[in-house]
A and B are shown apart, each in its own frame.
Chain A
Amino acid sequence: MILYLLRRLAVTAAILLVICAATFAIFYLMPADPAQGACGKACSPERITEIRTTLGLNHSPLSQFGDYLTGIVSGRTYGTGEHAVNCPFPCLGFSFQTNQPVWQMLTSRLPASFSIAVGAAVLWLAVGVAAGVVSALRCGSLWDRAAMTAALGGVSLPIYFTALVLQYLLVVQLDLLPYPQVEPLTTDPVGWAQSMVMPWITLAMLYAGIYARVTRGEMLESLGQNYVRTARAKGLPEITVVRRHALRPALMPIVTIFGMDLGALLGGALITESVFGLPGVGKLAADAISSADQPVILGVTLFAASFVVLANLLVDLVYAVLDPRVRAVG
């Protein structure tokens, strides 16, 4: 198991390296000149040359990539002498727009993304899985049909539509909630929750529909398994049969998609953040793209990819813990 873990970690690191290289290559190949971007509009040729030297753009692509990696792992210093700028670990460079360190920008945006993603995930897991289980147990009933139609609706409604309708209803018409903004969880938990309700519902509506349908399908399959019949033949109460023998196997595939979805959301719930104007990682990415802020785009891409890859690793580990057949051979 330890060996397996080490091997998986090595593989994960390798994947991240490849992603890093690929993203770097794409930006290197882009026609826009980073020095021009860093310098801004009114810019003298001397200034550009100076920036080129500071950013190390005169070096070969490979050595630039090497510097970038070094920066991530142990920090780096741009330029020399009096112009030298220290960029501490983990260094993702500085924004062309704000001159802030990219890492700092990311971490400052993380609480918003995290709040949205985790809260929504709890909501959609609870609602989606519960609805799926009940639907499976009452397969073909009125409830089943109604729930599955609602789920289909949730999946197919565009986020910005749901968001706008919610905002109109809850904020403008009923005045139940404040307009979404980031309240720190630590100082004002109620405010935090209130401001997050709408993004949560919006995201959860999309995902709960998917999870309800997947759960229902998986439950129907596991309820038809022979071992469920055995459990009934043993005289177990029906609730134990469902919970222990049908639900547990049905949750396995859900663990997989949940890990992926959550990983992707932590890397920026882009549309929700933009629609509600919340300062999350997704919003940062959108802004960086519109202003061609290359270091930020690069940083966000790496950051998001890391979440997905790490979520992947985590899912596999959880799988190994949950499924004795996988555990045995690891």
Chain B
Amino acid sequence: MDEDDQRDERAADRSPLLEVRNLVKRFPVRHGLTQRLAGHVAAVDGVSLTVGPGETLGLVGESGCGKSTVAKLITRLERPTSGSIHFAARDLAGLNETALRPLRRDLQMVFQDPFSSLNPRHTVRQILAGAYRYQGLEPDQPAEELLARVGLEAGHADRHPHEFSGGQAQRIGIARALALRPKLVVCDEPVSALDVSVQAQILNLLRDLQDEYGLSYLFIAHDLGAVRQISTRIAVMYLGSVVETADRDTLFAQPAHPYTHALLSAVPLPDPDLEASRERIVLHGDLPSPLDPPSGCRFRTRCLKADELCAAERPQLRTIALGQQVACHYPERTP
């Protein structure tokens, strides 16, 4: 536990490393054989986040809620429609690729599918060297050393990605992200494609590396267990916006947003007795289409508490307790 405390302190006593304000991304939607423009989908619709040094911010939400889009905007693989992304005292939102390049040393990404993010024709050594080449640098540490860092053997350096298991391939992806000793690593569902036992190994590895290098993570996942295991703070997304952010323990003990509450109650617990006795909130209906989101509160079509106010007015994130913010007119927990 006291390692945790240290991490928390490191996070508290410095200004944020990453500060995202009102981030919006709209994609044009095209339809049919003629690719006629049918409208816009707001994949990310006013997201604000901060990540402190040495901190891990977990970002959870169901598929299609915009998590990956947030990751791509922060790493500037996509250009935001509006909003700001302050990282290392610069606003990344408006920068072009040339101006971004030096900043990318400090801002790396790990992807969900370990195989499709590694060039199948390159050896592991070439893949790792590629990280330096992009910055116009020579590798300052042998590939073997990097591999050892992520728990692989020196002999793996001259193999190709297809010779590895999913877990090993994900370790290579992590080694590549770490090669330039970044400050922030954005991990988009890094363990979702892996088996449970391999998932545990990768979660442990990420944590070890954080302790060793003082890294910060933005850790994206839909698995609440994995997010709890690794995060210091957690943000919950629904249909393009953040509906709640809280310290890890607060979020699991006292969720304030009805969606967070339902989400937690939907996670099956590996304990037959708890499963038999627990309260279940089964949300009815499906996620609304982001093409045509509901008015007011995005969650109101599935919320048990929804009323006219919820339909009329979109709730803003507001602080209701120390380290807990929620976007709801009738939070489960009042200030």
Contact = CB atoms under 8 A, between A and B. Distances in A.
* Direct A–B contact in the complex, CB atoms closer than 8 angstroms: yes
Contacts of A330: 32-33
Interface of B: 31-34
Interface in A1-32: 4, 7-8, 11
Nearest to B31: A329
Contacts of A7: 34
A50 interface: no
6 contacts: A4-B33, A8-B33, A11-B34, A329-B32, A330-B32, A330-B33
Nearest to A11: B34
A329 B31 CA distance: 6
Interface of A: 4, 7-8, 11, 316, 320, 326, 329-330
B135 to A, nearest CB: 43
A330 B31 CA distance: 8
Given A4-B32, A330-B32, A330-B33, 12 more contacts: A4-B33, A4-B34, A7-B34, A8-B33, A11-B34, A316-B33, A320-B33, A326-B32, A326-B33, A329-B31, A329-B32, A329-B33
A61 to B, nearest CB: 33
Contacts of B31: 329
Contacts of A320: 33
A329 B33 CA distance: 8
Contacts of A316: 33
Closest 3 CB pairs of A and B: A329-B32, A329-B31, A330-B32
Nearest to B30: A329
Contacts of B32: 4, 326, 329-330
A7 B34 CA distance: 9
A7 B31 CA distance: 14
B61 to A, nearest CB: 27
Nearest to A327: B32
A11 B32 CA distance: 15
Contacts of A326: 32-33
A329 B32 CA distance: 5
A94 B31 CA distance: 46
Nearest to B34: A7
A167 B119 CA distance: 56
A127 to B, nearest CB: 31
